[in-house]
Amino acid sequence: MAKEVKKGIIEMLNGENVNVEEALKNANAMDQEVLEMAQNKMKEEEKKEKADQLIRMSKRAGWTNLRFLIEKRYTKECDEIESSLLKESKNLLDCLSKGEKDKKPFTPTMYEQELDKITDESIKKIAEAGKKRREAMKELDNSYVAYYCYGWGNPFQRINRAIEDNKRG
């Protein structure tokens, strides 16, 4: 077909009477070989897209699982810090009720100072846990740099929102 088009163009350039429209239509006609090649190419592209999708979903699942583990570890650390603070706070309150701590007088002013001290220590520990969490998240995101998508974090945003909503209610 391409030879026919070239022949038609050459004839046209030589001034012979040629049907240009017919020559172009013949050149644009699809033969069976081209059709089969196109179908094969479409099948290959579909397979490649499915393989790429499977890779993305596998990577997302791995990232999500690791993110849940990081979040769970952070939450557990914060829970332990808060539990410790509660125990120490209760001990301070018991000491205040008795009026003594370590067999020495214990006043409300001393109670407030001690409570502020243990609260500040807990805040520092939670900040340190948060720093470790952020570092772990940065490492996680950097290890999935070719695949990571900001939409992957959406379930965590929804979970955090639900946790915050439950704290308010």
pLDDT in tens, 131-167: 999 999 989 888 887 766 656 666 667 777 777 777 6
More confident residue, 8 or 112: 112
Give me the sign of the Cα torsion angle 12, 18, 20, 23. negative
Q: In this predicted structure, what is the pLDDT of residue 111?
A: 95
Q: In this predicted structure, what is the pLDDT of residue 153?
A: 66
**Whether residue 22 has pLDDT greater than 80:** no
22 within domain boundaries:
yes
91 and 143 within one domain: yes
More confident residue, 28 or 86: 86
* Residues 67, 160: Cα–Cα separation, whole Å: 13
161 within domain boundaries:
no
Report yes or no: 73 and 135 within 8 Å, Cβ to Cβ.
Answer: no
136 within domain boundaries:
yes
106 within domain boundaries:
yes
142 and 87 within one domain: yes
82 within domain boundaries:
yes
More confident residue, 90 or 15: 90
76 and 18 within one domain: no
Mean pLDDT across the chain, nearest whole number?
84
Q: Which domain holds residue 24?
A: 1-30
2 within domain boundaries:
yes
Report yes or no: 138 and 57 within 8 Å, Cβ to Cβ.
Answer: no
Residue 50: helix, strand or coil by DSSP?
helix
Total domains present in the chain:
2
Cα pseudo-dihedral 35, 39, 42, 43, rounded to 10: -170
* Residues 32, 77: Cα–Cα separation, whole Å: 67
More confident residue, 160 or 64: 64
81 and 12 within one domain: no
* Residues 90, 131: Cα–Cα separation, whole Å: 28
More confident residue, 16 or 25: 25
110 within domain boundaries:
yes
Buried b / exposed e along 7-44 (16+ C-beta atoms within 10 A): ebeeeeeeeeebeeeebeeeeeeeeeeeeeeeeeeeee
61 within domain boundaries:
no
